[in-house]
Amino acid sequence: MPIQTGTDTAKTRRTLKVGGQSVDYYSIAAATEAGLGDFSKLPASLKVVLENMLRFEDDGRTVSTEDIKAFAEWAEKEGKNPREIAYRPARVLMQDFTGVPAVVDLAAMRDGIVALGGDAQKINPLNPVDLVIDHSVMVDEFGTPRAFQFNVEREYERNIERYQFLKWGQKAFQNFRVVPPGTGICHQVNLEYLAQTVWTDTDQDGATVAYPDTLVGTDSHTTMVNGLAVLGWGVGGIEAEAAMLGQPISMLIPEVVGFKITGALKEGVTATDLVLKVVQMLRKHGVVNKFVEFYGDGLDHMPLADRATIANMAPEYGATCGFFPVDGETLRYLRQTGRDEDRIALVEAYAKENGFWRGADYAPVYTSTLELDQGDVVPAISGPSRPQDHVALSDAAFEFNRYICGNRKLKEPTRTEAKTWNEEGGAPAPDHLPGHRPGFHEGAVEGENYKLHDGSVVIAAITSCTNTSNPYVLVAAGLVARKARALGLNRKPWVKTSLAPGSQVVEAYLKAANLQEDLDALGFDLVGFGCTTCIGNSGPLEPAISKSINDNDLIATAVLSGNRNFEGRISPDVRANYLASPPLVVAYAIAGDMNIDLTSEPLGISKDGKPVYLKDIWPSSKEVAEMVESVVTREMFQEKYADVFKGDERWRAVETTDSEVYDWPPTSTYIQNPPYFQGMSKDAGQIHDIKGARVLALLGDMITTDHISPAGSFKPTTPAGQYLTERQVAPRDFNSYGSRRGNHEVMMRGTFANIRIKNEMLDGVEGGYTKGPDGQQTSIYDAAMAYEAQGTPLVIIGGVEYGAGSSRDWAAKGTNLLGVKAVIAESFERIHRSNLIGMGVIPFEFTGDDNRKTLKLTGDEQITIENLGDVKPLQIVDATIKYADGTEKVIKLKARIDTEVEIEYLKNGGVLHYVLRNLAAS
């Protein structure tokens, strides 16, 4: 479909000749010449947004001349001018966990617009949408040559209803493509193939226009492509759907934090170590709702794969995005990954012509800056439950001992005590026991000659787009496996190992280097191309190991090369999760124990009876670089992506219906027609006051979207499990919450159901429980339904950084469907705040010194917030707290309705209702 641009565009539209082609573009320099302001000192990331304003200026709806001038004022005001703007990304990226509910919503909107007397064909993406199926494969089988085949077969068995539905969507909707299962992870496919850095399209007059490649994605790690100078970030599915249907994204001109990188990494330090340090620094600096842009001479020798690793984890450091401007390395990567030479030439010419190029003189204005010398980065891991909990590898064993002692309420050890314990008990024998550590738990494993204990590593997974997109750390992992194998080392028998690359190219170069054979020998057989362990699809542990962990209340550990390690995410049997580089994942599989100091203690005993240390099997940077240079080729990328949308025989055999509106199968437990648009009126209403609301949950700090809407497995005893059992679904076929996001009945029952969430209304209870109307403990779902039957509105109370983590819209959808009218917290993460607005739930922030603790909230209170019909963006409003003893207190809350457009969303009951009414009216 042709792009729609502004009508009064002559003053900034120019022509660029490159090679044998001529393309039009919107010139930032021309905007300066036209008297709109000096934009020369803007960061490249913000120039991308500015270009978007120029392209849509004076279209009569969304962009004004004053919006453009505001960017010049941003530079004059030292990087601050939070003006509301309407931004239009070029395309949308989805994965299947978030994509299925998005397509469900679009299908439901077709039903809804027909009911309002409109045309179903008005519900069609106006912008290109790519959906990559990558979240559904589980690690059921591992450590064998048949693992990949077995896991793929189980994937199709479990998910055939979802795949049939997505195939229907591919036929029914325009501008919508599906990348089939088994291809790779959406962000890696985007980086290696879909993204172009500079996009071209024809406008309504048939002219070719070049403009920056931009996108939003229904996954928080969409930011990965910022490493390729493509501006993109994660949004909830509901916001992405609105963008697909032509609704601009309402946002404030962001602050931009400049992160200067100097020096070079030392020998033995990986890109993963670098990004874990960056996450720690930026979390401490505070970058929520901000852009981060990386600059400095340290980038001159930083491979794009390393940049993508840093950009990927922007959600972990809290930023909207982590951007790297276009430079020579951008062009090299585009060429290596098989992009067309004409495109590469256009990227270079356009970036230099329009001010996006990072040259030696690149020195923009930033809102604030910080700096890191790469020479100061040390090998590290992060955990046990947050990505920003950076721990130097040399301190990892000691810090883990402290963590266990804190959990067991034991006196924390001194470093001397911890070192003595390790020297006495850390010998890498299969039956290594920590019996000399008073208070640490242990347990035998039925049928085995070893015991598990606090700190046993039971999962070691090379997984996630974060690291499997980087050939340097993947090759390093393979070399660690090769050297360990040569010395006779192997993984410990209690460790579940897996390799799940983010693209088929990884398989190709590991095989070309003959490294896959070495990884296989240590149990890191290919288990699938997808997210697997990183998003909770780690699959079940061996029954005897799971039993030992649960019977003895062990704190088992997982080590993964992923980006998330939140509580309850990786496996229901594992309580401590650590992020690490792929080569360290291999090392921990060999050691099998977090209590072992990998920097000073042996990992194992060689076949010659000698102790083997990490340094004995760690490859040099030169070894890694030379192998990457020799085996990673342009031809591999071209071959693997030649038929990326075609899929294998299984995908081609999936049958579906061919219809304009979806014929909802009544017996499906995967796909159900959601209630959002049923019975909807043609006209919007008002924002309603909240009167006498009860507290559904009283929550602490850093409540993530994993806490609110878990993605992993669940048991028959849960409300979701009971729902499926009543419909004759066997527990082995429950699949996961993530895979059932097309069924609101399952997802409502899974909201606030994370096994590690702690509701402070209850004393020491973990899991999705609360007090019902009768004051008795019950599941959050059952309590919400009981309150709904009484007509009682609900609120959630939270701490700081409420809604951190994934972009999952179900964290907001489920909150809405449980009857929650508002969330009151100390602060919100960007995406979840927006998602709440998009689902008609109002986010409020405490002000001053008020919080749940200073107000002595117990959850037995009633909350009233009035006069919301006239609320303005970021307005301070009064809230009345009525305590259980009848006393009342009035406090001030900030309404985190950030823009005027969000007021309209709330009046309509949500962003999709707003869009649907507008489409029906037109």
Q: What's residue 4's pLDDT?
A: 53
Length of the chain: 922
- Residue whose entry in the numeric block shows the structure tokens 């920590």: 434
Q: Are residues 43 and 153 in the same domain?
A: no
Contact partners, residue 288, CB within 8 Å, separation at least 6: 318, 319, 801, 827, 829, 830
Amino acid at 862: Q
Contact (Cβ atoms closer than 8 angstroms) between residue 314 and residue 320: yes
- Tell me which H or E stretch contains 200: strand 198-202
Look at residue 799 and tell me if it is in a domain. yes
What pLDDT, on the 0 to 100 scale, is given for residue 413? 77
- Is residue 326 domain-shared with residue 412, that is, in the same domain? no
Given 603, 632, 661, which residue is the final one in a domain?
632
Last residue of a domain, one of 632, 647, 666: 632
Q: What is the pTM assigned to this prediction?
A: 0.87
**CA nearest neighbour of 804 among 288, 239, 389:** 288
Contact between residue 295 and residue 259 where contact means Cβ atoms under 8 Å apart: yes
Q: How far apart are CA 753 and CA 696, in angstroms?
A: 13
Residue 79, both tokens = 């990087």
The two structure tokens encoding residue 284: 């401490």
Three-class SS of residue 217?
Answer: strand
The bridge status of strand 214-217 relative to strand 91-95 is parallel
Number of H helices, E strands in the chain: 32, 34
What is the Cα–Cα distance from 122 to 530, expressed in whole angstroms? 33
Whether 545 and 526 have beta carbons less than 8 Å apart is answered as no
Phi-psi region of 592 (alpha: psi -120 to 50; beta: other; left: phi over 0): left
Contact 768, 757 (CB under 8 A): yes
Measured from the Cβ of residue 198, the count of other Cβ atoms closer than 10 Å reads: 24
pLDDT of residue 3: 55
What is the pLDDT at residue 437? 65
The owner of tokens 């057989």 is 525
Q: Is 701 exposed, middle or buried (0-12, 13-18, 19+ CB in 10 A)?
A: middle
Number of structural domains in the chain: 4
Q: Is residue 658 part of a domain?
A: no
Q: CA–CA distance from 607 to each of 426, 518, 610, 700 (Å)?
A: 19, 16, 7, 50
Residues 548, 484, single domain; the answer is yes
Enter the tokens of residue 489. 């080392």
727 and 856 share one domain: yes
CA 403 to mean position of chain CA atoms = 26
SS3 of 677, please? coil
Nearest-5° angle of CA 858, CA 862, CA 866?
Answer: 135
Residue 363's identity, in one-letter code, is A
Q: How many CA atoms does the CB half-sphere of 602 hold within 13 Å?
A: 16
Q: What gap in Å lies between CA 573 and CA 562, rounded to an integer? A: 18
Last residue of a domain, one of 341, 376, 411: 376
For residue 53, give Cα distances in angstroms to 3, 89, 363.
14, 11, 23
- Positive or negative: CA dihedral 166, 170, 174, 178: positive
The pLDDT of residue 807 is 72
- Residue 571: inside a domain: yes
- The reported pLDDT for the residue numbered 712 is 84
In a domain, 742, yes or no: yes
CA 729 to chain centroid: 30
Contact present, 761 and 659 (Cβ < 8 Å): no
Alpha-carbon torsion angle 425, 426, 430, 436, nearest 10? 20
pLDDT at 238: 84
Q: Which two tokens stand for residue 675?
A: 């209630």
Q: Is 223 helix (H, G, I), strand (E, B) or coil?
A: helix
Q: Give the containing element (helix H, strand E) for 252.
A: strand 249-252
Contact indicator for 561, 180 with CB cutoff of 8 Å: no
Predicted pLDDT of residue 1: 41
Q: How far apart are CA 718 and CA 609, in angstroms?
A: 50
One-character DSSP codes across 57-91: BTSSSSB-HHHHHHHHHHHHTTS----EEEE--SE
Q: For residues 29 and 143, state if they share a domain.
A: no
Sign of CA dihedral 317, 319, 325, 330: positive
- At 361 the pLDDT is 93
Angle at CA of residue 449, ends 445 and 450, nearest 5°: 60
Instruction: Find out whether 776 and 134 touch, Cβ atoms under 8 Å.
Output: no
| Bridge partners (DSSP) listed for residue 828 | 802
Which amino acid is it at 220?
S
Both 188 and 236 in one domain: the answer is: yes
CATH at residue 750:
3.20.19.10
CATH code (residue 311): 3.30.499.10
Running along the chain, 922 residues long, what does each successive block of 10 average in pLDDT? 50 92 95 95 98 81 88 95 93 91 92 91 93 90 95 93 94 94 93 96 90 94 96 89 88 96 96 94 94 97 95 93 98 97 97 96 96 97 91 94 89 74 46 54 93 95 88 96 98 96 95 97 95 86 96 96 84 94 97 94 95 97 96 96 92 91 93 91 93 98 93 92 96 90 96 95 95 97 98 98 86 97 95 92 98 97 97 97 98 96 94 90 83
What pLDDT is recorded for position 58? 53
Task: Using alpha carbons, list the distances in angstroms from residue 210 to 43, 50, 232.
Answer: 20, 15, 17
Of 300, 333, 22, 66, residue with least CA distance to 191: 333
Q: How far is 472 from 475, CA to CA, in rounded Å?
A: 5
**Cβ-based neighbours of 2, under 8 Å, separated by 6 or more:** 201, 202, 203, 204, 206
Buried b (16+ CB within 10 A) or exposed e, 345-376: ebbbbbbebbbbbbeeeeebbbbbebebebee
Residue 5: predicted pLDDT? 52
DSSP 842: E
Q: 113 in a domain, yes or no?
A: no
Nearest to 133 by CA among 101, 173, 99: 99
Residue type at position 522: L
Looking at residue 703, its amino acid is I
Distances (CA, A) of 286 to 261, 383, 894: 18, 19, 20
Structure tokens given for 349 = 């010419």
d(CA 871, CA 224): 37
Q: Say if residue 385 is in the same domain as residue 371.
A: no
Answer yes or no: do 75 and 136 share one domain.
no
Q: In this structure, which amino acid lies at residue 149?
A: Q
Q: What gap in Å lies between CA 551 and CA 775, rounded to an integer?
A: 31
Same domain, yes or no: 304 and 174:
yes
Pairing, β 888-895 against β 842-846: antiparallel
Residue at 638 is within a domain: no
Asked whether residue 60 is domain-assigned, the answer is: yes
- Nearest CA to 236 out of 686, 736, 795, 816 is that of 816
747 and 759 fall within a common domain: yes
* pLDDT at residue 48 in the model: 98
Distance between start and end Cα atoms, the chain: 20
Q: Which domain holds residue 226?
A: 91-108+118-376
pLDDT at position 922: 79
Concatenated DSSP letters of 427-440: ---TT---TTSTT-
Token look-up 């699949």 returns: 735
> Do 534 and 525 meet the contact criterion of CB atoms below 8 Å apart?
no
Which residues are paired to 262 by β-bridges? 373
Phi, psi of 230 (to 5 degrees): -105, 120
- Residue 697 in any domain: the answer is yes
Q: Are residues 814 and 856 in the same domain?
A: yes
Q: Identify the three-state secondary structure at position 531.
A: coil
Query: What pLDDT, on a 0 to 100 scale, did the predictor assign at position 436?
Result: 47
417 exposure class (CB count in 10 Å sphere: 0-12, 13-18, 19+): middle
- For residue 857, which of 767, 797, 801 has the smallest C-alpha distance? 797
Same domain, 61 and 100: no
Residue type, 63: V
